[in-house]
Structure 1
Amino acid sequence: MFGNNAGDGYEQQGNRYHDMVTDALHEAAIPDSSREEPNIDAQRFYNMLDAANEPIYEGCREGLSRLSLASRMMTIKSDHNLNEKCMDSWAQLINEYLPEGNLAADNFYEIQKLVAGLGLPSEMIDVCIDNCMIYWKDDEKLTEYRLKRLYHSERTAASMRWHAQHSVKDGEITHPSDAKAWKHFQTVYSDFASEFRNVYLGLCTDGFSPFGMSGRQYSLWHVILTPYNLPPEMCMQREFLFLSILVPGPKHPKRALDVFLQPLIHELKMLWHHGVQTWDYSQQQNFNMRAVLMWTISDFPAYGMLSGWTTHERLSCPHCMDRTDAFQLKNGRKSCWFDCHRRFLPPHHTYRKNKKLFRKNKVVHVPPPVMQPGASLLEQIDYYGAKETCKVGGNWHTPPNMPDGYTASHNWHKKSIFWELPYWKDHLLRHNLDVMHIEKNVFENIMNTLLDVKGKSKDNLKSRLDLPELCARPELHVTREGKLPVPNFRLSGVAKQKLFDWAEQTGCSIPDLLGVLEITKRNPDGSFVDGKSEQLYNDVTSKFQELSQAASDDPESTGSSGLSPMEKSKIYCEFAPRKKGRLYGVGSLNTSLRSVPASFPSSSTRDQSLEKIIYDQAQKIESQGNEISKLYKIVRHLASKDSTVADILQSEDVSSASGDDDESDAI
């Protein structure tokens, strides 16, 4: 799947390194009176690029340099997990086939030295097996190097001042620098803001399993910094996302994440207090570059790991804190935030007095909770006695060690390492939630409820049992017979089918389950991680080919022999083994497919044209092989109860749709 275009990707990457060298060495139009000589670090960087940009051999194509070859070989090593001996062999082989006098590296050690000269180092830091502490401070300038390089290149040097020089329209926020939090910080720290070239950073983190859904328990956590000085179209580009820390696992760091953040926080403090001498290519000047961390970005569980405020149980909201209106459901036995939003409405809004549409007989007069300033939060943390992870150890934050009043009057489980930053308490906005996770979770819960997906719908027996106490919805209460009345928001079988047809026509929401299997279970070399995955892939693809061939051989075929995404996904569901309701290789992506009902007319529709209805259902049988047995039994049952149906069943139309006698007997 990846092999055909791999060469093009590596070639493009080599050209990018050539362009980077060209940009860095390009002359800038600066008056001679304003020019300065690059500082020692910048000059060393330019000298290295100049030497690395030499053609790898005389007469070679433009862009093929020592640097581009070394960088591409390092990328190949990383992509295919090659060991050093293998890289040595490849380096020797390339040297033998290139003309004499070429500049290619002889071994992997030389490749490493050349790439390391870019000034983008990494450091391996040992950590206690229990995440109690790390052993570091041998190298404290990993982030500094990356930020300095932004000012050494013509492409990015001028763009680093964009945040302060772009035009702003009243009422519009096109960049974080247009927002209230950014402007508040610049007001408080005007000396920092006066130097447009100082760097504003954002930090994001998340965890993932590098082994996909193979079942192996492994948690890999990355911490990424991105400079917000750049314009929006550059901020989120891959080359400006700096991987600062990688926690390799296999254990989830949980509340011990601060232990791993120590080197980064130490360097951020240095960049704030002292800064670092940097050469600005665009203005041909040296200046003292400082940096500030504006905020973090994460999902809600990681929010708790970063902020120190536990994000579960009744007090999980970090805005409302102990002033929350959340309550415990008696039957669902979960914390619920239903009807907590009305106090955020304007004081005289009509919904505040409504006793029927929200919690019954409840009128809301209280104002919304006031957002606590950073200094107040810091006092609160110290008052309750929350400990610093780096002082007590990564595994110290267990229930017996929690501060007094934990989960009752507060949710502080630790004093976050970010409070060490001298400006952290003055930020208006310290932590952000990743919109992607919120949209995904909200969408899935809404769709699972509308489609009534078993085990995933929020409209279940426990929620119905809690309903009488909370809402004036008697039509949805559980009946004396223990049945749940069908709500008007649940989609009928016809509505579901229309939804799936629309999704299929527009090309959205229909997952390519076989493609997901390849992503999660197939190695880059084309092999599968295990025999089970390979057998499933072969069975499904064979079925695809069989059905496509049958459709193309059918003289009555419309000429379209390709299977639709819905049909392919249903075939995958037939072959894939299940465990606890989850499809092998794709997790729970099949839930929407399993919710499609097998629709068939009931006895109340007999006054309609039964011949047309049964014929239509028979046509659907051909594309729903796994439903044919149930559907045929229903038809036989109707025929035994209704003579009209029996006559229709004997007609040649239905007989031709059902197949010949041998096939019918087999069914």
Structure 2
Amino acid sequence: MAKRPVQDHLLLKPFTKNYLVWNRHGEIQPAEPSSIEVQATPYQENPLNTLMNDVFGHHGDEGITGVNDAVIHNGGKDIADERLHEASFDGSEFNEFVRDGNEKLHEGSKCTNLEFIIKLYHINVLCRISDKAMTMILNLLRDTFDGIRLPSSFYLAKQVICKLGLEYTKINACLNDCMLYLDDNSDNVQDTCKYCGISRWSLKKKKKKQAAKVLRYFPLKPRLKRLYMCSKTAEHMQWHNSAPARDGLLRHPRDSQAWKDFNATHTLFAEEPRNVRLGLATDGFNPFGALSSTNSIWPVFLIPYNLPPWMCMNHTSFILSMVIPGRKSPGNKIDVYLQPLIDELEDLWNDGVETFNSSSRNTFRMHASLMWTISDFPGLGMLSGWNTHIGLACPSCNFDFYPCYLRHSSKWCFIGHRRFLGRNHRFRLNRVHFDGSIEERGPPKKLSGVDILEQQQGVETRDQQRKESHSSGKRPRREVKQWNKQSIFFDLLY
């Protein structure tokens, strides 16, 4: 009944055109006070200062003086010197890094020299610009703008970024993936492979010795210690222990039975929630896209599973461990390239490393463990040594499986999934929609690590396989076996 009068009133006396915000309905607006209250603008921390604080400690804009003041205000505990020692920097490099971080790009600029170089390097990586082109851009900026403080070449710019602790190690490798040249020193430099005898150096470069194949390895210890340098990340690294399990569903690896069994077996490791649990993932890709189809490079990533589920699988949380060079896939010889990582993981498991926790402001001995590997089926065969190219390819069924070969398509088929159903399930008796037989088997037996080691008793060691493969002029014809090798990951068990 009241709808019609309201509509008439709106037609006779409509809202004014400048009436945009309908928050008043005829009431008298109170008079505003004559004095103007000045609101303080919220403080916004410079992201570059946050980055420098995470690497060196909270020094602010005062350089070394600010560090000493921070030590005094923290009850005399030399936190800054401890972080400075962990970052492996001396005082001169630290002063130079702070100067680059505080020096303006030019007079009146809001951007510092270091901040501009980091953004420029980010563009170089995303747009795949060559170093020569970046040097030309830097020279153009130096010639165009007077008083701008930039390095004369992109090589010098990268030297500034290397002070952030993002360097890697170059390890020469055999061209046939036989070995890594790890034992080199100034007095003893090995020029040929001890297995195949091929030269270590590239024949294309005659004036200067250049390795034919180079492994880029990123040390793991400083990158794990870096996770605890930032106070926010250090708190997230303990999420798996502090966050309550609400509904009992599998939402994170910590909810799995494997995680719980690991805690029950290794109680000393589980008592310290700051110990790192890692997963390893690898796969090959073609770095040249459609321009070439003969290259295959294999990056190896580590995933810290201490982080919450919305962070641990984010690409920003991945730790690049190494880049295995091409042109061909390493195959079963991937263990040769994983040797530096396995040595470091073994050291982290047995001895650990002293790490500063910025959230609690104390030092603890951090240990690490490799929990799982993530890969596709061909990658599984390379990492584990289990032959995935024949009928017994399923690692869960192991030898308890009946292979099925499709003759017309020349493929192996895996149709034994009915054995996982309940005993009274109707699919077990269905002959028509499956392979024409009744499924009476139960699920396969779950094998332990001891059972797997017993199966690998007759498998040749890696050194024996490499020596036999190069003992004659051609590669010997090998018998097709289910276990091709004993994976290097089993070295962590001894």
Question: So what's the TM-score if we normalise by structure 2?
Answer: 0.72
Structure 2 partner of 1:344: 420
Judge conservation of contact 2:430–2:438 (CA < 8 Å) in 1. yes
Aligned length: 396
Most deviating of 126-135 and 70-79: 70-79
Match of 2:433 among 340, 357, 365: 357
2:209 is aligned with 1:178: no
Give the CA deviation at 1:395: 6.2
Structure 2 partner of 1:37: 79
- Aligned pairs for 1:17-28 (under 5 A) are 17=48, 19-21=50-52, 25=57
Report which of the two has the higher share of helix: 1
Structure 2 unpaired stretches of 5+:
1-45, 60-69, 185-215
Give the CA deviation at 1:345: 1.2
Give the CA deviation at 1:83: 5.2
SS in 2 for 1:321: coil
Summarize the Cα distance change of 1:351–1:77 in structure 2 as closer, same or farther, 3 Å threshold.
closer
Structure 1 partner of 2:278: 201
Distance 1:158 1:34 in 2: 24
Structure 1 unpaired stretches of 5+:
1-14, 424-667
Give the CA deviation at 1:240: 1.7
Give the CA deviation at 1:22: 5.7
Misfit runs of 4+, over 6 Å: 138-141, 393-399
Give the CA deviation at 1:373: 0.4
Match of 1:118 among 161, 164, 172: 164
Judge conservation of contact 1:276–1:289 (CA < 8 Å) in 2. yes
Distance 2:469 2:124 in 1: 36
- Aligned pairs for 1:233-244 (under 5 A) are 233-244=310-321
Letter in 1 for 2:168: S
Give the CA deviation at 1:41: 2.8
2:175 is aligned with 1:129: yes
Structure 2 partner of 1:432: none
Distance 2:137 2:149 in 1: 15
Summarize the Cα distance change of 1:174–1:353 in structure 2 as closer, same or farther, 3 Å threshold.
same
Letter in 2 for 1:380: Q
Deviations 1:557-616 (A, max 9, x none): xxxxxxxxxxxxxxxxxxxxxxxxxxxxxxxxxxxxxxxxxxxxxxxxxxxxxxxxxxxx
SS in 1 for 2:102: coil
Summarize the Cα distance change of 1:97–1:276 in structure 2 as closer, same or farther, 3 Å threshold.
farther
- Aligned pairs for 1:164-313 (under 5 A) are 164-313=241-390
Structure 2 partner of 1:320: 397
Question: So what's the TM-score if we normalise by structure 1?
Answer: 0.54
Distance 1:416 1:127 in 2: 19
- Aligned pairs for 1:450-465 (under 5 A) are none
Judge conservation of contact 1:132–1:395 (CA < 8 Å) in 2. no
2:119 is aligned with 1:75: no
Give the CA deviation at 1:317: 0.8
Summarize the Cα distance change of 1:306–1:177 in structure 2 as closer, same or farther, 3 Å threshold.
same
Deviations 1:175-231 (A, max 9, x none): 111211111111111111111111111111111112223453111211111211111
Distance 2:388 2:361 in 1: 48
Structure 1 partner of 2:230: 153
Say what the alpha-carbon RMSD is for the aligned residues.
Answer: 3.2
Judge conservation of contact 1:327–1:337 (CA < 8 Å) in 2. yes
Structure 2 partner of 1:91: 138
Letter in 2 for 1:282: S
Deviations 1:209-258 (A, max 9, x none): 12223453111211111211111222123332122111231112122211
Summarize the Cα distance change of 1:325–1:91 in structure 2 as closer, same or farther, 3 Å threshold.
same
SS in 2 for 1:182: helix
Letter in 2 for 1:107: S
SS in 2 for 1:328: strand
Judge conservation of contact 2:105–2:113 (CA < 8 Å) in 1. no
Give the CA deviation at 1:124: 2.1
Structure 2 partner of 1:54: 102
Deviations 1:293-319 (A, max 9, x none): 111111111110011101121111111
Summarize the Cα distance change of 1:186–1:103 in structure 2 as closer, same or farther, 3 Å threshold.
farther
Judge conservation of contact 1:388–1:415 (CA < 8 Å) in 2. yes
Judge conservation of contact 1:205–1:222 (CA < 8 Å) in 2. yes
Give the CA deviation at 1:364: 2.3
Summarize the Cα distance change of 1:76–1:221 in structure 2 as closer, same or farther, 3 Å threshold.
same
2:419 is aligned with 1:419: no
Summarize the Cα distance change of 1:372–1:187 in structure 2 as closer, same or farther, 3 Å threshold.
same
Distance 2:316 2:456 in 1: 38
2:449 is aligned with 1:392: no
